[in-house]
Structure 1
Amino acid sequence: MQVKSMDSVKKLSMKTLQSISAHLAIPEYDRSSCGQSILHLGIGGFHRAHLAYYIHQLLQRDGSSEWGIFGTGLGFPSDRKMKEALSSQDFLYTLVELGADRAGNTESNIGNSEMKAYVVGSILGMEIACDNLQEILARIASKTTKIISLTITEGGYYYNSVTGKFMIEDEQIQKDLSTPESPSTAIGLLVEGLRKRMITNNSQSKVTLLSCDNLPGNGNVLRTVIEGYTKALDNGNTLYAWIKENVSFPNSMVDRITPVTSDLLIQKLRESYFVDDVWPVNTEPFVQWVVEDNFAAGRPQLERVGVQFVNDVLPYEHMKMELLNASHSLMGYLGFLAGFKYIHEVALDDEYRAIVLHYMNREVTPVLEPVPGIDIEQYKNSLMVRFQNSRIKDTLVRICLGGSSKLPKFLLPVVRKQIAAGGDFTVAALLVAAWFRYLLGVDENGHSYEVDDPMAEALHCTAKQAGTSPDLFFEYGDLFAPDVVNSDAFRNRVTFFLQSLHRLGSRTTVHNLIIKEKIRIDVI
């Protein structure tokens, strides 16, 4: 390894860019001449590895552009930490791509030839909404803002995926509706900003609200909650009609595995690239974005850098969520209970990998609709390579977050289709049982852990009451649709696996299922 004194390590900033360029690729465009036509709500790791990455690539290709990004957050601790980190380095950050490796190497021992790092400059500023509310509302209202994009996680939409309705009764939503001029939710903030936009610009105010969250029909969901909130406002009819005429909500499918930044990565950048970045982003080389071409006020030409614009995103969404996301959760819960720490460890285990492949091939693929331009077999193979990327070090703790928001969207659509078709849902039932077992908050070695979920308190209490019976869980109508609840075959499978997980543990339960179902094991 090349060694230099710590004096040669440069703090990432505009002033140090040229000296950093000896070791890292830097923005070649003039950031000072970029517009800020994109307002993004929810600056996190995924946004910086995805939308901000794509905009950066476009700026690198085409030079000065109107499509720079200004960021905001509602004021969560993570938002404040992000603003502090980015503002300390002029909103520049390092993006690090770590290629697939099955040999067990990690970022602590990989060489520079196996690691691609470069500085991204597409984010031009950031403010916290609750600290500078009028500024953020003014940006939403400004006709120079043409796209308002979001990564606010599933819970930020207040949308019930089982009923397909806006959760208007939620306490935070009701609070915003009572004082709409000082919103605390993303939905309330957007609607108040749109109201000001209507008043300020009226007919010259078309704008696109672009969800980049991992939700099926994310644009449709965003439209549903924005319109539902607007209709609930006093005298909201005029604004509701204006939104329907002037605001578009394209659906999009997003994909790039982006784990939490580690201290090892920060140190690696200092040692090998001589740059001090307080919050870099590490991700995989793979990136995909499929977007419905429905932009009310124009859009950047992102097809030049690999974004796919289509008329119908839903087949791509179903493919990704039902194959990638559900498989992630399957490995997450089963692996966590068994004592694994990272996704790649589970994916490299012969028996767990066999269960995942069986789920993909036997339970998901038969009910997938055709996906234009995609070879499903190749796609599934690529997923396993991505899962086995040991350099990413994607933690099971991250994967297990928010199961009540994820499983109804990623897994249960497959279950419902298989129930209707009289098909196989064996591994899907195992995943549901593993989630129920995880909610107990104690692993197979007796170690306690915190269940991180929007419904954590209620679900944890249910897990303690339920024991080895899933019946109490199936009473959650917001999680399980009637056709799932009323399927005796599915409930019986879940009961069998939940009892096995309690009695025998994850490893033995998986092994027994492989023997019973004669599931093929391919040894790496």
Structure 2
Amino acid sequence: MANKTQIILNPLTLNKVKDGVRLPTYDRSEIKTGIFHFGVGGFHRAHQALIMDNLFTMGLAKDWGICGVGIMPVDQKMRDVMRDQNCLYTLVEKESSGQLNYRVIGSIIEYIYAPDDVNALIERLTKPEARIVSLTITEGGYNTNPVTGEFDLSLVQDDLKNPKNPKTVFGIVVEALKRRKERGVSGFTIMSCDNLQENGKIAKKSFLSFAEAIDKDLSTWIEKNVTFPCSMVDRITPVTTEVDRLKISEKLGVVDQWPVVCEPFIQWVLEDDFAAGRPTYEKNIVQLVKNVAPYELMKLRLINAGHQAIAYFGLLLDHFYVHEATQNDQIVKYLQSYMDFEATSTLDPVDGIDLNQYKSTIIKRFQNPNVLDTLARLAVDGSDRIPKFVIPVIEDRLTKCESVWLSTSVVVSFTRYLNGVDDKGKKIQIVDRMNEKLSVLDKKLRKDPTAISDAQEIFGDVVKNKIFISTFKEIYEKLQNEGAKKTLDWLLSKY
């Protein structure tokens, strides 16, 4: 946090910002709230908030300003920064050439930290102004069981017992919808922007399941009056470091306490299904379509699964940054082979996309040396990401009696990472919400790799497949005994 002697970025200090930084050219006082976004992190501020900023700059969508919403204890810091800076922040696009594009974003016009006054937030969501509730609550934030796909009610028992004082996004949003129903106010759109296949359908199932546990009639009303469009979002947005903060503040001439850095690439494919209107998204970057599924599959199974493919092998080979790992020819060949020989065959045709060019762009994006994305970030919560990004590729190929060496090796690399050391014996910090269960699995696998068949709760039914088990066992033993480099050579020799 800034000290009292520092000049902090806010509307009153914009005139002190140095030349070379793009500032909002629209009158923020004319922007009215229409979107309430849960989960204001780096990605949202580099993606949806940027697109809205572009629209406001064009003189469009002025009644679709963003109100950020935080519900987690860690969101208190964002609340404080947003208060100090009147929700302004700096976005820096880092090009591979080394050029840095600085821009102050003004599309988030207010921020609410729910625990401060949850009823006040619910009342705001009850008013007609709330027309879109958007979400970046992470892949694991939807409380779905990885095996059954069902919403886990055990995780929201406090909200079910105290619906007037909810703590989760499900409790808050459903209570607001309940009040809208009672007051004759129509529904709104719940728009997931998380990296999940059919994210809109998953969000719908989660919210309807929660609502049904409270009142079946309410669940029925929500199903009829609320829409849940699917979307595919893409932009690499690494964690903002202290070095980033210092350099950006130096460039600005004022202190930005929480800027955002990202790559130049951005994509948003969105199902055009909105209950209460929407911004003119099509005027800037967003591709509105009837069916997002082919785009979702392409992104999840190439980019997101590709991140998993390089994360664990990269860490085992003592790489730190993504661009370092993808300057390793062996890892690049492995990633390219995974995409070409296994993932691509599981995709549906995608209108307007040249898959070969798309895959080439992925590698170039990963190789951008200025983004400074870390492998450790990609490895966080692998127990959530592997089942959603990689396991579906394995399942599709097994159904068609096709080989799964490369896709299974991604799962194996994750389980080897659970050893907690790289191939040189250097410690690796494991960050995963299922740490305890993964630790038990790690011990079992070291004794007998076929114990992967006991990991159904983590990876789903695929672990019962005999071909998967035998493939997993062979790769696991190779990786444990001979290390990542020799294992990658061995895998690549099969293609």
Sort the TM-score into its range (normalised by shorter chain): over 0.9
CA contact (8 A) 1:33 1:64 kept: no
CA contact (8 A) 2:450 2:470 kept: no
1:23 is matched with which residue? 20
How far 1:9 sits from its partner (Å)?
8.7
2:281 to 264, 279, 302: 302
How far 1:69 sits from its partner (Å)?
0.5
Residue 479 of structure 1: SS of its match in structure 2? helix
| Structure 1 Cα separation of the partners of residues 420 and 440 of structure 2 | 10
Q: Please show how residues 19-98 of structure 1 align to structure 2 within 5 Å.
A: 19-20=16-17, 22-62=19-59, 65-77=62-74, 79-98=75-94
**1:228 maps onto 2:209 in alignment:** yes
Question: Partner letter of residue 79 of structure 2?
Answer: K
Q: Please show how residues 198-217 of structure 1 align to structure 2 within 5 Å.
A: 198-200=181-183, 202=184, 204-217=185-198
2:331 is matched with which residue? 352
**1:498 maps onto 2:440 in alignment:** no
Q: 1:64 to 1:322 in 2, by over 3 A?
A: closer
- Gap regions ≥5 residues in structure 2: none
Q: 1:468 to 1:117 in 2, by over 3 A?
A: farther
| Structure 1 Cα separation of the partners of residues 308 and 417 of structure 2 | 11
1:250 is matched with which residue? 229
1:513 is matched with which residue? 491
Q: Please show how residues 102-121 of structure 1 align to structure 2 within 5 Å.
A: 110=98, 114-121=99-106
1:159 is matched with which residue? 144
Q: 1:139 to 1:128 in 2, by over 3 A?
A: same
Question: Partner letter of residue 372 of structure 2?
Answer: K
Q: 1:374 to 1:468 in 2, by over 3 A?
A: farther
2:162 to 179, 186, 189: 179
1:321 is matched with which residue? 300
2:404 is matched with which residue? 425
**1:274 maps onto 2:270 in alignment:** no
What per-residue deviation string (whole Å, max 9, x for no partner) do you get for residues 260-279 of structure 1? 01222222223334232111
Question: Partner letter of residue 485 of structure 1?
Answer: V
| Structure 1 Cα separation of the partners of residues 431 and 447 of structure 2 | 21
| Structure 2 Cα separation of the partners of residues 158 and 64 of structure 1 | 33
**Which range is displaced more, 391-400 or 418-427?**
418-427
**Which range is displaced more, 179-188 or 291-300?**
179-188
Residue 173 of structure 2: SS of its match in structure 1? helix
- Gap regions ≥5 residues in structure 1: 1-7, 102-109, 520-524
What per-residue deviation string (whole Å, max 9, x for no partner) do you get for residues 291-338 of structure 1? 000000000001111100000001100000000011100100111111
Question: Partner letter of residue 148 of structure 2?
Answer: T
Q: 1:183 to 1:499 in 2, by over 3 A?
A: same
CA contact (8 A) 1:155 1:454 kept: no
**Which range is displaced more, 159-168 or 29-38?**
159-168
Question: Partner letter of residue 311 of structure 2?
Answer: G
Question: Partner letter of residue 196 of structure 1?
Answer: R
How far 1:486 sits from its partner (Å)?
3.4
How far 1:24 sits from its partner (Å)?
1.0
1:415 is matched with which residue? 394
Residue 96 of structure 1: SS of its match in structure 2? strand
How far 1:63 sits from its partner (Å)?
5.3
What per-residue deviation string (whole Å, max 9, x for no partner) do you get for residues 179-233 of structure 1? 2222222212211121122223x2x322100111111111100110111111111
Q: 1:228 to 1:100 in 2, by over 3 A?
A: same
CA contact (8 A) 1:23 1:274 kept: no
1:478 to 434, 441, 457: 457
1:132 to 95, 106, 117: 117
| Structure 2 Cα separation of the partners of residues 126 and 383 of structure 1 | 34
What per-residue deviation string (whole Å, max 9, x for no partner) do you get for residues 229-254 of structure 1? 11111xx0221121012110000001
**1:447 maps onto 2:430 in alignment:** no
Question: Partner letter of residue 291 of structure 2?
Answer: D
| Structure 2 Cα separation of the partners of residues 356 and 449 of structure 1 | 22
How far 1:139 sits from its partner (Å)?
1.5
| Structure 1 Cα separation of the partners of residues 143 and 235 of structure 2 | 24
What per-residue deviation string (whole Å, max 9, x for no partner) do you get for residues 394-428 of structure 1? 10110001111111110111101110111121111
Paired residues, what number?
491
CA contact (8 A) 2:55 2:61 kept: no
CA contact (8 A) 1:39 1:139 kept: no
CA contact (8 A) 1:210 1:249 kept: yes
| Structure 2 Cα separation of the partners of residues 486 and 115 of structure 1 | 49
CA contact (8 A) 2:46 2:262 kept: yes
Question: Partner letter of residue 90 of structure 1?
Answer: N
| Structure 1 Cα separation of the partners of residues 251 and 349 of structure 2 | 45
With the length of structure 1 as denominator, give the TM-score of the two structures.
Answer: 0.90
Residue 37 of structure 1: SS of its match in structure 2? strand
| Structure 2 Cα separation of the partners of residues 63 and 314 of structure 1 | 29
**1:237 maps onto 2:234 in alignment:** no
Question: Partner letter of residue 93 of structure 1?
Answer: Y
**Which range is displaced more, 56-65 or 268-277?**
268-277
1:144 is matched with which residue? 129
| Structure 2 Cα separation of the partners of residues 34 and 434 of structure 1 | 48
What per-residue deviation string (whole Å, max 9, x for no partner) do you get for residues 415-448 of structure 1? 0111011112111111111111112223333333
**Which range is displaced more, 81-90 or 249-258?**
81-90
RMSD: 1.7
**Which range is displaced more, 498-507 or 90-99?**
498-507
| Structure 1 Cα separation of the partners of residues 387 and 454 of structure 2 | 14
1:372 to 344, 351, 355: 351
2:108 is matched with which residue? 123
What per-residue deviation string (whole Å, max 9, x for no partner) do you get for residues 372-408 of structure 1? 1111111101101001011011101100011111111
Residue 33 of structure 2: SS of its match in structure 1? coil
CA contact (8 A) 2:20 2:102 kept: no
**Which range is displaced more, 179-188 or 297-306?**
179-188
| Structure 2 Cα separation of the partners of residues 37 and 21 of structure 1 | 32
Question: Partner letter of residue 182 of structure 1?
Answer: N
